[in-house]
């Protein structure tokens, strides 16, 4: 029988004098008393957690080492979980994540990072006008969603200013679900459809400046800014200036949203064509005959997608839209 690295008869191992005076594992704390919490926001190594409905400040414990803890993580914590001013709990474990939304290293940030975890929907907030929609940014957000195996949702704001039809025609063949919102002008304020889409899920909201994301978050969660203000008061930052993602619960425990005020870009260099096409099983099936290493992009020789179009088995618009997404991975772009 072999135990660990050494065999039973490995005398060198057994006869070597013990230098350690402290047993290595015996004193390791067991975390049976740890409790569950969820990470609300992160600010300079300090974590705000939600634990039994109260906000608790925490830091990472040593055994976690360099393992990252991100917004949306379900964690286990020990120590002072009272949440009173000045108290500090310790995160001892990160529960395995169901999803991770990532960004590749880019000029803004040299390290590939997980932005948020455990979200199942990515809500791409885009104004129909003022500012004008930026389809390339929408495409990049969709790529990030598909890669992370999150359901995408287009949220088209400012419907009082423009008709959504032009923009929607670009996304119809991909089958991306969408909602339209209007929070100014006559008849403003009905968010029933969006609320229906958010119910029971954790949804990450992304969008570039001015699209009306804060207005939307505040309409969904009337206390949102006040809550964020509290978080920032604890971490020493001013109100309404959070640049980190933060998690908020929808009223009546209907779901969770994660706002991302700090995200200015979405590096996508880590996204593999194979992962992207998996989000479109009908197209994926048509690539079985592709040559090895085929990226399924425009101009790839003998790509199964082209053969399927020629044979009348694939919708050319859908293939073209998929290829547009594929190409959007390469363009670097700010929100
Ligand atoms: N016409 C119109 N204006 C809107 C609507 N929703 C928001 N706005 C306006 O759009 C502007 C930008 O809204 P914000 O909610 O601050 O946009 P944001 O996306 O959070 O932008 P940042 O705060 O820069 O990240 C504000 O002047 C809002 O009043 C809408 O449905 N229709």
H or E segment to which residue 270 belongs: none
**89 in a domain, yes or no?**
yes
Co-location of 89 and 106 in the same domain: no
Please check whether residue 1 lies inside any domain of the structure: no
> Residue 283 pLDDT more than 60?
yes
Q: Are residues 43 and 118 in the same domain?
A: no
User: Residue 264 has what pLDDT?
Assistant: 66
Distance CA 206, CA 176 (A): 16
Give the chain's mean pLDDT.
86
pLDDT value for 62: 87
The Å distance, Cα 127 to ligand 1 centre, comes to: 9
- Is residue 245 one of the residues assigned to a domain? yes
Q: Quick one: pLDDT at residue 329?
A: 87
Domain final residue, candidates 50, 75, 94: 94
Q: Say if residue 47 is in the same domain as residue 174.
A: no
Which atom of ligand 1 is nearest the CA belonging to 216?
15
Residue 5 confidence (pLDDT): 46
d(CA 283, CA 271): 17
Task: Please state whether the peptide bond connecting residue 324 to the residue before it is cis, i.e. omega within 30 degrees of 0.
Answer: no
Ranges 130-139, 233-242, 254-263, 268-277: which has the least confidence: 233-242
Pair 118, 202: CB distance under 8 Å: yes
241 is in an annotated binding site: no
Of ligand 1's atoms, which has the minimum distance to the CA of residue 181? 31
Q: Which residues line ligand 1 (CB under 6 A)?
A: 157-158, 160-161, 182-185, 207, 209-215, 261
Claim to verify: residue 229 and residue 150 sit in the same structural domain: yes
- Whether ipTM > 0.90 holds is yes
Question: CB–CB of 178/154 below 8 Å?
Answer: yes
212 is in an annotated binding site: yes
pLDDT tens column, 115-174: 899 999 999 999 999 999 999 999 999 999 999 999 999 999 999 999 999 999 999 999
Instruction: Tell whether 109 and 225 lie within a shared domain.
Output: yes
Is 25 a member of any domain?
no
Please tell me whether residues 236 and 293 are part of one structural domain. no
Query: What is the distance in A from the centroid of ligand 1 to the CA of 332?
Result: 25
Is 215 annotated to bind a ligand? Reply is yes
Residue 1: pLDDT band with limits 50, 70, 90: very low
Does residue 61 sit in the same domain as residue 164? no
- Centre of ligand 1 from the C-alpha of residue 130, in Å: 9
Residues 44-53: pLDDT tens digits?
A: 889 999 999 9
- Name the closest-CA residue to atom 28, ligand 1: 212
Q: Any known ligand binding at 208?
A: yes
Closest C-alpha residue for ligand 1 atom 32 = 158
Q: From atom 22 of ligand 1, which residue's Cα is the shortest distance away?
A: 209
Atom of ligand 1 nearest to the CA of 261: 25
The domain total for the chain is: 3
Tell me which of 146-150, 153-157, 244-248, 249-253 is least confident: 244-248
Average pLDDT over residues 67-82: 94
Decide if pLDDT at 231 tops 50. Answer: no
180-203 pLDDT, tens digit each: 999 999 989 999 999 999 999 999
**Residue 8 lies inside a defined structural domain of this protein:** no
Give me the domain span that covers residue 323.
Answer: 273-328
Tell me what pLDDT residue 10 has.
46
Nearest CA to ligand 1 atom 24: 209
Residues 85 and 224 in one domain: no
Q: How many angstroms separate the CA atoms of 6 and 99, rounded?
A: 38
Measured CA to CA in angstroms, residue 72 lies from 46, 69, 151, 204, 332 at distances of 14, 9, 16, 10, 26
Indicate whether 177 and 237 sit together in one domain: yes
- C-alpha 193/C-alpha 176 separation (Å) is 15
Which residue has tokens 């954790």? 202
278 vs 111: CA distance, rounded Å: 26
Same domain, 125 and 230: yes
Distance 104 CA to ligand 1 centre (A): 28
Q: Are 63 and 92 in contact (CB under 8 A)?
A: yes
The structure tokens listed for 326 are 């594929």
Domain final residue, candidates 44, 72, 94: 94
**Within a domain: residue 16?**
no
Same-domain status, 287 and 217: no
The share of the chain scoring above pLDDT 70, in percent, equals 81
209 is in an annotated binding site: yes
What's the pLDDT score for residue 236?
A: 46
H or E element at residue 257: strand 256-259
**What CATH number does residue 47 fall under?**
2.40.50.140
Residue 12 placed within a domain = no
- Which domain CATH number covers 231? 3.40.50.300
Q: Which residue has the higher pLDDT, 177 or 6?
A: 177
Which residues, including other chains, have CB under 8 Å from residue 244's CB and lie 6 or more apart? 41, 42, 43, 71, 261, 262
Question: Which of 207, 228, 259 is the C-terminal boundary of a domain?
Answer: 259
DSSP designation for 263? -
Based on the domain organization, do 41 and 114 belong to the same domain?
Answer: no
- Tell me whether residue 211 is annotated as binding: yes
Is 316 a member of any domain? yes
């Amino acid at each position: 029988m072999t135990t660990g690295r050494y065999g039973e008869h490995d005398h060198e191992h057994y006869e070597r004098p013990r230098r350690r005076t402290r047993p290595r594992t015996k004193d390791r704390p067991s975390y049976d008393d740890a409790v569950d919490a969820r990470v609300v926001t992160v600010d300079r190594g300090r974590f705000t957690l939600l634990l039994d409905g109260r906000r608790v400040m925490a830091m990472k414990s040593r055994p976690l080492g360099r393992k990252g803890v991100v917004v949306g993580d379900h964690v286990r914590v020990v120590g002072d979980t009272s949440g009173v001013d000045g108290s500090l709990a310790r995160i001892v474990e990160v529960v395995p994540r169901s999803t991770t939304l990532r960004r590749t290293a880019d000029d803004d940030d040299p390290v590939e990072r997980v932005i948020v975890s455990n979200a199942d929907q990515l809500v791409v907030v885009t104004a129909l006008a003022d500012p004008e929609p930026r389809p390339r940014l929408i495409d990049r957000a969709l790529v990030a969603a598909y890669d992370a195996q999150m359901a995408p949702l287009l949220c088209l704001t400012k419907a009082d200013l423009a008709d959504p039809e032009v923009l929607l025609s670009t996304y119809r063949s991909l089958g991306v679900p969408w909602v339209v919102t209007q929070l100014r002008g006559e008849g403003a304020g009905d968010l029933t459809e969006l609320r229906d889409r958010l119910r029971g899920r954790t949804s990450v909201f992304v969008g570039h400046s001015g699209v009306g994301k804060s207005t939307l978050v505040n309409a969904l969660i009337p206390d949102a800014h006040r809550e964020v203000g509290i978080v920032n008061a604890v971490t020493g930052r001013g109100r309404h200036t959070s640049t980190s993602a933060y998690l908020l619960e929808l009223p009546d425990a209907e779901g969770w949203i994660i706002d991302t005020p700090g995200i200015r870009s979405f590096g996508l260099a880590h996204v593999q064509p194979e992962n992207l096409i998996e989000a479109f099983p009908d197209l994926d099936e048509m690539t079985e005959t592709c040559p090895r290493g085929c990226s399924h992009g425009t101009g790839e020789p003998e790509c199964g997608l082209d053969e399927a179009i020629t044979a009348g088995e694939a919708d050319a618009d859908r293939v073209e839209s998929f290829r547009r997404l594929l190409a959007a991975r390469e363009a670097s772009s700010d929100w």
